Structures are given as structure tokens and as C-alpha cells.
Amino acid sequence: MMCYAGIDLHATNSVLVVIDEADRVLYQKRLRNDLAVIFTALTPYQTTLQGVVVESTYNWYWLVDGLMEAGYRVHLAHAPALPQYSGLKHVDDQHDAQWLAHLLRLGLLPTGYIYPKAERAVRDLLRKRSQLVRHKTMVVLSLQSLLTRLTGNRLSLPRLRQLTPEGIQALVPFPEHVQSVSSSLAVLQCLEHEIHTIEGTVREAGRTQPGYVLLPTVPGIGPILAGTILLEAGDLRRFATVGHFASYCRCVGSEHVSNGKRKGAGNTKNGNKYLSWAFIEAAHFAIRYGAGIRTYYQRKQARTHPLVALKAVAHKLARACYHMLRAQVPFDLSRAFG
């Protein structure tokens, strides 16, 4: 008799439910987040278990990796796409886990992509860089705002880097302000050092990726954006068409229309925010340094809003990168923007 397992994963515990072909509950219990404990609970059903469903939460790495290494067939449930059960007045974690197993049994489970464990570390390191860059921007803006209030002058980032302890004391009037500026500069130097270190690691890791040397042939894409696009996209065979990839990059508009009338929009946040950022950044630089792309942007801008024109360039770049990585060919401006 075949059986199916669903796991409702939380921060410190998980609810495991095992059902049979008739949806009868064979096992149901809340367990602490420990692989040994979960393996013990699953062992009696291992020979007949058709799959284990884990809901895609922020902390799924350890559980999915552990189950896969132990030989279980694991499915990562795509939470936003899960069909909701109706008619129930009381829903709890046990119902959620049982519902996941039920959808797996029916073959209706929407699944997410389980990114390969070996490549996940570099991708997460790039995400950490993105976080540090945001912190750096926040520190710089705060420091510039403070100095503008005190001196009436706004110092650029290169001038901030050149400030010495003596220069700070000559610039601001009170010791407390000197301490505030000095602490901000210390944090800024630390952040820049860590960002530079991460970038070196990413460049070194990128040399082993076949598409890493192709992406910088696109105007506006440098080593960091190339690494972000390559690692966030993953295996492109998971996208049925280039349109699916563009939608995953959030480069496709959302519009609900009925009887020729616009009824709103939805799912604008579905997709990968890091790929969306990467292609918008690439579009900014491509417009600045690529004459052909700038001409395309200007034509679009003349007919619509500048942000829509920028998004159109990002969409074109996303489609171009998809075809480049699939065919392992360099960028062709005439095919992308012709």
C-alpha cells in the first residue's frame, strides 16, 4: 500500500503527517526540528513512501537536503500556488501537512525548484553582498545628511573616504558629532572591505561556470551582475519558454482584463527579486553605454513613461540572456534590439 507524507515546517518544530491511498492518516505528530527524530518517524513507511512534501519556507535547506541525502523523494511545495481547501471552519498545522500529502497523492501539487546544494552557497553569498550594499547605502546617506545639516555642504562618497580624524574635527563643531561621523566612517570602511572580499570570491567561483564569460558580452552586465543572473537563474531547462523566464525575472507586466476593461493587476511580486534587480541595473548601464540600446530606449520613452521604457529594456536583456545561456553564444545586438 502506497503512502504519502507532508511536513508543515516551522522555525523550531515540524508537523509530520503520513496518509495512505484512501487519505487515511497513518501517522500524525509534531516533532522538533531534528533530522534524526524525523528519520525515526518516517522509517516504518520508507519502503512504500511515494514522496515527502515540504512547504517552501525560509528554513527548508537543512530538511530537504537531509531527506534527499537519506534517499527520500522530496517535493518542495510552491506555497503561493497551492490550491486552498474550502468548507473548513477549523484549520491547523495538522490539516496543512495532511493537505500537502493529499495534493501529492492526487498529482496536483505545485512544486518549486530545489536549487542544487553545491551551487547554493555562492548564490547565497551574492545575496549577502546585496544586503551589505544596502547597508552601505544607508550609512552613506545618513552620514551625508548629518554633514549637510552641520556644514551646509554635501560631501560625495570619494570625499567621505578621504576624511581623516583631523579633518573631521575641523569640519564639525562638537565632540559628539566627531564621534558620530567617525563611527559611521568606521562602519563604511568595514562594509566596503567585506563587499570587496565577497566580490573576489564570486569572481573566482564564476570562472568554473560556462555562462559566466558570455554574460559580460551584454552591454551593462559586469562580473557581479553576471554572477547574480547565472546563479539566480539556475538550470534554464526548468523554464518551458523564454516568456516563463522573463516572468520569473519580473519583467512581464500584470493586468487583469474583462470585457475589454482593466480590472486591476496581481502577482506582481511573483518571481525572483534578485533577477529583477539585476536586469533593471543592467538596463540602466546599457542605456548609458550602449548606443543601440539607448536609441531603442529613447524611442520607447517618447511614446510611454520612462519607467515603462526602462522595464522594456530589462525585458529585452532578460530574453537575450536566456537564449545566450541556452545556446552558449555571445550577445547579438541586432537580434535582441533589431
Q: What is the CATH number of the domain that holds 7?
A: 3.30.420.10
> Is 89 domain-assigned?
yes
Number of DSSP helices (H) and strands (E) in the chain, helices first: 13, 7
> Is 173 domain-assigned?
yes
- The region of weakest confidence among 102-116, 150-164, 192-206, 261-275 is 261-275
Determine contact, residues 149/208, Cβ cutoff 8 Å.
no
Does the pLDDT of residue 87 top 80, yes or no? Answer: no
If one compares 254 and 185, the residue with the highest pLDDT of the two is: 185
> Is 112 domain-assigned?
no
> Is 261 domain-assigned?
no
On the CB side of 128, CA atoms within 13 Å amount to 16
User: In terms of domains, do 166 and 197 share one?
Assistant: yes
Q: Which of 291, 269, 282, 295 is nearest to 324 (CA)?
A: 282
User: pLDDT tens digit string along 191-248?
Assistant: 999 999 999 999 998 888 888 999 999 999 999 999 999 999 999 999 999 999 999 9
Does the pLDDT of residue 85 top 80, yes or no? Answer: no
The pLDDT of residue 187 = 97
On the CB side of 139, CA atoms within 13 Å amount to 22
> Is 197 domain-assigned?
yes
Q: Which long-range contacts (CB under 8 A, 24 or more apart) does 307-311 make?
A: 310/280, 310/283, 310/284, 311/251, 311/253, 311/280, 311/283
Determine contact, residues 236/316, Cβ cutoff 8 Å.
no
Average pLDDT, the chain: 92
> Is 43 domain-assigned?
yes
> What predicted TM-score, i.e. pTM, was given to this entire model?
0.87
Does the pLDDT of residue 73 top 80, yes or no? Answer: yes
**pLDDT tier, 253 (very low <50, low <70, confident <90, very high otherwise):** confident
Does the pLDDT of residue 172 top 80, yes or no? Answer: yes
φ/ψ of 47, rounded to 5, equals -70, -30
User: In terms of domains, do 333 and 218 share one?
Assistant: yes
> Which residue, 106, 127, 145, sits at the end of a domain?
106
- Domain range enclosing 93: 3-106
User: pLDDT tens digit string along 286-327?
Assistant: 999 999 999 999 999 999 999 999 999 999 999 999 999 999
> Is 284 domain-assigned?
yes
Give the whole-angstrom CA distance, residue 229 versus residue 323. 13
User: In terms of domains, do 230 and 157 share one?
Assistant: no
Q: Which of 300, 302, 331, 303 is nearest to 318 (CA)?
A: 331
Q: Which of 128, 333, 111, 336 is nearest to 228 (CA)?
A: 128
User: pLDDT tens digit string along 15-30?
Assistant: 999 999 999 999 999 9
Q: Which of 230, 251, 236, 229 is nearest to 323 (CA)?
A: 236
User: In terms of domains, do 84 and 129 share one?
Assistant: no
Domain total in the chain: 3
User: In terms of domains, do 223 and 331 share one?
Assistant: yes
The pLDDT of residue 259 = 64
Give the whole-angstrom CA distance, residue 7 versus residue 77. 10
> Which residue, 59, 78, 106, sits at the end of a domain?
106
User: In terms of domains, do 225 and 329 share one?
Assistant: yes
User: In terms of domains, do 221 and 307 share one?
Assistant: yes
User: In terms of domains, do 71 and 134 share one?
Assistant: no
User: In terms of domains, do 35 and 59 share one?
Assistant: yes
**pLDDT tier, 265 (very low <50, low <70, confident <90, very high otherwise):** low
Cα distances (Å, whole numbers) of residue 41 to 26, 28, 47, 75, 112? 11, 10, 13, 18, 25
User: In terms of domains, do 124 and 80 share one?
Assistant: no
**Which residues lie below 8 Å from residue 20, measured CB to CB, with a gap of 6+?**
1, 2, 3, 4, 26
User: In terms of domains, do 329 and 217 share one?
Assistant: yes
Give the whole-angstrom CA distance, residue 171 versus residue 110. 60
> Is 291 domain-assigned?
yes
User: In terms of domains, do 221 and 323 share one?
Assistant: yes
Average pLDDT, integer, range 47-59: 93
- Residue 166: Cβ-neighbour burial (10 angstroms; 0-12, 13-18, 19+): exposed
> Which residue, 106, 126, 161, sits at the end of a domain?
106
